[in-house]
Homo-oligomer: A and B are copies of this chain.
């Protein structure tokens, strides 16, 4: 605890709470510790206490969690990091602490002297700290040594042996930004890992997308672990530029990345406690036997294409948005895009720019926020040049974000979107006047909650909405009934003549990839991936408190899911990597609160 001579009242309040909390934990008093929380309160733990990603609620939740974890965790050395602050009746502070296994950091918010939120996060495992800064490798071994091998020889030997004469401890299926970020963490933790990717080169999953694609999130949100984008990096990365970055990052982080490799089938050998994973690499089948298998095939991994009568008769081009080659071939053609979320808007705008005649079929209402507005109002405080200038680091921004329990987040987001609604009132008026069905989420909590709950149902406007409002992109509401040889026919009989139909109809739950790779049984056993259990559209109740199956143990031993946007890939890859490293080192990792499965997809 801090003991400066001139403590502020808020510092004293935090110190007092932390002292009592520490004392309760030290004497193994779960109930006593729980009593320091408010009746409505949240403790979010990222691996430090629970070997899980888990939010418990209220005093009963805290007490139960501690009763199951305290003896093993032995938390200690609590101290306040930096200066506590107070606003709107909430006192808050950054924390540091130790456990038996590692070192962690955290964040607490007090209301009337009781904890409203507590975040605890494991940062490193004792004895397995990353070789960074003062611990960085020397690179050269000084002195004379006839047994010396060079860095290049070591790298080449590893590439030759790993997966052949030696086995990786982890295989990551999917080498997009998620798999790469996790691979980098595991490399730093010296966990032998192979990343398996269908495409030839890192970044190809971006390169093969439609050509006008740029990231919809700004650069400050998108950093990978260890190597930050430089100060000249564009706010919104063009897809081929981020692809080059991923390729170079994979190289300089020395990842064992198997491109042009397809994961064919996998089976968990219960007796051996390992996977038998068959991959096809350069036409050859290779069997890998990792202890841990991470699915990082992406939330945009398995396209969802609806089946409409007559699709087989349609004579023009038709494809899912993920296969859309871009607009160049469609000048002067009639394009119908089914869907009204991000991809649909991007594709419609690019087609319009290239002189196609474009119709967007809106089947359900969509939430739209202008990109500039989102940056300024929703992200600016944590992820912006202004935040950087004010001393906000990426790591601190991530932890600040993580400190807000999901249950409380929706309520906190509502006023943000009220502000957006007011600021861009003209914009929304024009959009709705053009017939666009717009919503703010079922509880008016806006874009980020839609992302966390269902990862769909919105468009971050970078220009297409203006084309919709002006009628340049024609809007067709309603459901598709069937296709003819040259048209999409709506349920109300409206016929949309088409040379091209794009199904911008989204993606399936990531456990669909498990069904393909392992078995439908295992897919059902681990259940739906993503979503919080909010009971809103595409995110059925009951409440889960954390993203289903993401970055944490699942009902299938040795099976993990990794992904999310660049911010999540960056931040949660740390916790997943630490869970995998602990298992690789034989550290005991009793999981508290392993999630139950309520939905299979």
Contact = CB atoms under 8 A, between A and B. Distances in A.
A144 B188 contact: no
Interface in A110-156: 130-134, 136-140, 142-146, 148, 150-153, 155
B236 A140 contact: yes
A232 B136 contact: yes
Given A144-B353, A144-B463, A353-B145, A150 B234 contact: no
A152 B240 contact: yes
B372 A142 contact: yes
Given A134-B385, A152-B240, A240-B150, A245 B234 contact: no
Contacts of A48: none
B150 A212 contact: yes
Contact of A140 (B227, B234, B244, B388): B234
Interface stretch (A169-177, A306-314, A464-472): A464-472
A241 B385 contact: no
A230 B234 CA distance: 20
Contacts of A134: 385, 389
B140 A231 contact: no
Contacts of A467: 144
A355 interface: yes
Interface in A172-191: 188
A248 to B, nearest CB: 4
Given A130-B232, A150-B212, A244-B252, 17 more contacts: A133-B231, A133-B385, A134-B385, A136-B235, A138-B235, A139-B234, A139-B237, A140-B236, A143-B463, A144-B349, A144-B466, A144-B467, A146-B355, A150-B238, A152-B241, A226-B231, A247-B251
A462 B138 CA distance: 12
Interface of A: 130-134, 136-140, 142-146, 148, 150-153, 155, 188, 211-212, 214-215, 219, 226-227, 230-241, 244-245, 247-249, 251-253, 349, 352-355, 371-372, 385, 388-389, 462-464, 466-467, 472
A465 to B, nearest CB: 10
Contacts of A389: 134
The interface centre, meaning the residue of A211, A232, A236, A466 with most chain B CB atoms within 10 A of its CB, is A232
Contacts of A353: 144-146, 148
A95 B143 CA distance: 44
A236 B247 CA distance: 24
A543 to B, nearest CB: 37
A232 B352 CA distance: 47
16 contacts: A132-B232, A133-B388, A136-B232, A136-B234, A139-B215, A140-B214, A142-B462, A144-B464, A144-B466, A144-B467, A148-B212, A152-B238, A226-B232, A230-B252, A244-B251, A248-B251
A235 B140 CA distance: 8
A151 B241 contact: yes
A598 B239 CA distance: 54
Nearest to A388: B133
A472 B240 contact: no
Contacts of A211: 150, 152-153
A431 B467 CA distance: 79
A139 B214 CA distance: 8
Nearest to A132: B231
Contact of A252 (B139, B231, B245, B354): B245
A136 B219 contact: yes
A164 B248 CA distance: 28
Contacts of A240: 150-152, 155
Nearest 8 Cβ contacts at the A-B interface: A139-B234, A151-B238, A248-B248, A140-B214, A132-B231, A152-B240, A139-B236, A143-B463
A466 B146 CA distance: 14
A387 to B, nearest CB: 12
A354 to B, nearest CB: 7
A428 to B, nearest CB: 17
Contact of A226 (B230, B238, B464): B230
A346 to B, nearest CB: 10
A291 to B, nearest CB: 24
